[in-house]
Structure 1
Amino acid sequence: MDYHSVFENHKEQDLLGRYITLKNIEPLLGKHLFKNKIDVLEKSVLEKSIYGYQTGTGEFKILLWSQMHGNESTTTKALFDLFNYLDSDVEEVQKWKDKFTFLFIPILNPDGAELYTRENANKIDLNRDFMNLSQPESQLLFSQFSSFKPDFCFNLHDQRTIFAAGKTNNPATVSFLAPSFNKECAINTTRQKAINLIVGINMELQKHIPNQVGRFDDVFNRNCVGDTFQQLGVPTVLLEAGHFQNDYEREKTRKFIFISLLRGFSLLYENDIVDNKIDDYLKIPQNNICFYDIVYRNVKINYDNSIIITNFAAQYKEEIIENQLFFNAYISSVGDLNEIYGHLEYDAQGGLFHDGVDYFPNIDQKADFIIGKSKIFVNGLLIK
């Protein structure tokens, strides 16, 4: 399959950027009503609609949900790209619909999506609520899991720009986890299926983003939905959309999520998830925190009345201002920054830092400053 062409032909052009809410997806759901079952499954804490999107008639059932964390929207975009593909008449889609029944929940946490926060309106992380099931959104997902009785689950998230694929300077553009079902992180038949599927997807992704796929630590947490569903005997894959070079809107990353889902469905259709692929799974490099958004090296600063040359870093905070998302850069770290990388790096060549008040980059201050006599930085970026 030419995944790139399939993506370009089915990309949902009316769903762009990182701030994705019900206002963005509700008009798009309307155009899919004629071929699919779309219902309001439940209401959120603030009485916003949580939609279910069901298609296919097969016996093998697949449950997928996105934006469990409201500010993690890339996989929602990829789902709508997928909806366009599943509405097409290509032979592969028809085969999938004969074998599979899909149930998608495209924004599980609409309140968090509107507020652009990880938590729901009650400030609860839904992915830490699967022992208590205290929130209507958590209760809904568990209820759908219980009634739909899926054979496979996809738990779709975004991850921060801080992660590299192992001990490299490559961003972890896509990361996976086959969640554990017990404290021993054992591997049973259920978890083995998730592992094998991840290995198959990774083999395809290496053709498109070589050395930019990571793997999360598998420490067991019964409060997490993936660990819970795995414990209940349903293979579950955690899929995280991460950073691709110069792609803060994650318009490129959405393509790799789309490819991951298509390849995953193909492998499930072919039943190519039965071999023991643990060694290949463990070869996927573990996510490593070693990135800042911007690193400034060889900067002269005034530290405790002494002039020294050192490095500092800035990180973007994603902030909603008047219903628009802004990436605002703030100073995050000062020091050697050994084995730390920047998605963007500047060599100050010994230029003196000053921000109009101080000659030291203070943590949490806005990244607006001058280096030397003429290099002006606004929001972390060199403008002059």
Structure 2
Amino acid sequence: MNFSSLNYQDIKELSVHGRYIRRSQLQSVINRNSIQNKVSQLGNSVRNSPIHKVTLGSGKIKILMWSQMHGNETTTTKAVLDLINYLNKTNELVNQILSSVTLTIVPVLNPDGAVDYTRENANKVDLNRDAIELSQPESRILRVLYNEIKPDYCFNLHDQRTIFNVGSLEKPATLSFLAPAHDIQRNVSASRGQSMKIIVAIHKALSSIIPDQIGRYDDAFNPNCVGDAFQLLGTPTILFEAGHFPDDYQREQTREFIFYSLITAISVIAQRKIEGYSLDTYFDIPENNKRYYDVLILNANLINKKYDHNIGILYKEILNEEIIIFNPFIEATGELKDSFGHKYLDCKDQNDLNFLKSDRKLHKLLF
């Protein structure tokens, strides 16, 4: 697919930017005349916030996707809003998609967690570990919707942390995908095979623009996870994970890549091209590893003898007046062999040392 022909900058939903999405921003988008008659309310969250779906297209193939099951994972929500913008345009690909596919999109499944910028819902429950008990209203809303529309495919949309690299490479896992297992042996059922082939299609398309930055997520079976549960029910399900791109802590570049991934997957389904992709190629996609720190400080013992060799620093995301603040904390010290840094600072280098001393947060943390 030629992504440049999509004119992403003309598609991007400019009213939503950064890591935090305000409820009013989302409401403004779904209240627009262009999609207003395609929006309906599914129910309410723990705190009685509305949960909406957007339905696009009239085709026989049914795709269900949901974002922000974890309230602090906003990148895919931004990409979903971009997708809605694109599908409200008129061109050959859009017409083909909308005539072949009916898309049901839940932009934010966990609105309370979205407001608080937390993984869990208002009852402190991880909705992605509630597939069996269905103890939460948000979990039940998703399951009722699944039972009602009986989707042919499901897209489970998430963010992942900055710690992930691809295989053994010093490359961030900007995108990761998973065809969830449907049993503890991780066998390849018919539905899982379909998921794998769609991921192969995405990997092939996106590798042309982010080579070696696409990973495969761990496939350990957990029936409490929604993706595993839907795969177990026989619905091809794909986990999308939006990860880190260099210097993109606001996840705006990754947002674009997720949009391309969604369009690729939907197009392959709409054009019935899934069988043109090899199942075996799925296992050639490198698995994720956890080797990255946000900042890797080398020779830290030179600034303070209490440190042993190197320091691995990660950022904690803190919500402060609807702005996400990135606060550094020390995750590990030592030789930290085979570790990578999104940013390297070497205490042997005077310029790096001056930076450490001048950066208010790092200085307070280290000195």
Change in 2 beyond 3 A, CA 1:100/1:373 = closer
C-alpha separation between the residues in 2 aligned to 1:176 and 1:188? 17
1:109 aligns with 2:102: no
Count how many residue pairs are aligned between Structure 1 and Structure 2.
Answer: 361
Amino acid across the alignment from 1:321: N
Matched residue SS, 2:332: strand
- Number of the residue aligned with 2:360: 378
Q: Is the 8 A contact 2:61 2:270 kept in 1?
A: no
Q: Is the 8 A contact 1:309 1:350 kept in 2?
A: no
- Number of the residue aligned with 1:129: 130
Matched residue SS, 2:255: helix
Deviation at 1:276, TM superposition (A): 6.7
Deviation at 1:271, TM superposition (A): 1.4
- Number of the residue aligned with 1:341: 340
User: Any unmatched runs of 5+ in structure 1?
Assistant: 352-369
Change in 2 beyond 3 A, CA 1:257/1:61 = same
C-alpha separation between the residues in 2 aligned to 1:162 and 1:243? 9
Matched residue SS, 1:168: coil
Deviations 1:2-48 (A, max 9, x none): 32352122001111001013222100111255575101111000011
Change in 2 beyond 3 A, CA 1:33/1:46 = farther
C-alpha separation between the residues in 2 aligned to 1:118 and 1:271? 35
1:82-97 matched pairs, under 5 angstroms:
82-97=83-98
Q: Is the 8 A contact 2:154 2:236 kept in 1?
A: yes
- Number of the residue aligned with 1:311: 310
1:138 aligns with 2:139: yes
Quick one: higher RCO (CA 8 Å, sep 6+), 1 or 2?
2
Change in 2 beyond 3 A, CA 1:25/1:372 = closer
C-alpha separation between the residues in 2 aligned to 1:35 and 1:43? 19
Deviation at 1:213, TM superposition (A): 0.2
TM-score by length of 2: 0.94
C-alpha separation between the residues in 2 aligned to 1:191 and 1:374? 48
Larger Rg, first or second structure (1 or 2): 1
Q: CA RMSD in A?
A: 2.0
Deviation at 1:330, TM superposition (A): 1.6
Matched residue SS, 2:30: helix
C-alpha separation between the residues in 2 aligned to 1:330 and 1:105? 34
User: Any unmatched runs of 5+ in structure 2?
Assistant: none
- Number of the residue aligned with 1:2: 2
Matched residue SS, 2:21: coil
C-alpha separation between the residues in 1 aligned to 2:355 and 2:203? 48
Amino acid across the alignment from 1:338: K
1:57-206 matched pairs, under 5 angstroms:
57-206=58-207
Q: Is the 8 A contact 1:177 1:237 kept in 2?
A: yes
Q: Which one has a larger percent strand, Structure 1 or Structure 2? A: 1
C-alpha separation between the residues in 2 aligned to 1:242 and 1:314? 18
C-alpha separation between the residues in 1 aligned to 2:35 and 2:160? 34
Q: Is the 8 A contact 2:30 2:36 kept in 1?
A: no
Deviations 1:92-127 (A, max 9, x none): 111111111100000000000000000000000000
Deviation at 1:332, TM superposition (A): 1.8
Change in 2 beyond 3 A, CA 1:208/1:276 = closer
C-alpha separation between the residues in 1 aligned to 2:363 and 2:187? 47
Amino acid across the alignment from 2:19: R
Change in 2 beyond 3 A, CA 1:64/1:303 = same
1:264 aligns with 2:262: no
Q: Is the 8 A contact 1:40 1:50 kept in 2?
A: yes
Deviation at 1:279, TM superposition (A): 2.2
- Number of the residue aligned with 1:252: 253
Large movers: runs of 4+ above 6 Å? none
C-alpha separation between the residues in 2 aligned to 1:148 and 1:45? 24
Amino acid across the alignment from 1:348: C
Deviations 1:137-158 (A, max 9, x none): 0000000000011000100000
Q: Is the 8 A contact 2:34 2:88 kept in 1?
A: no
Q: Which one has a larger percent helix, Structure 1 or Structure 2? A: 2
Q: Is the 8 A contact 1:36 1:55 kept in 2?
A: no
TM-score by length of 1: 0.90
C-alpha separation between the residues in 2 aligned to 1:187 and 1:33? 41
Change in 2 beyond 3 A, CA 1:350/1:245 = closer
Change in 2 beyond 3 A, CA 1:137/1:329 = same
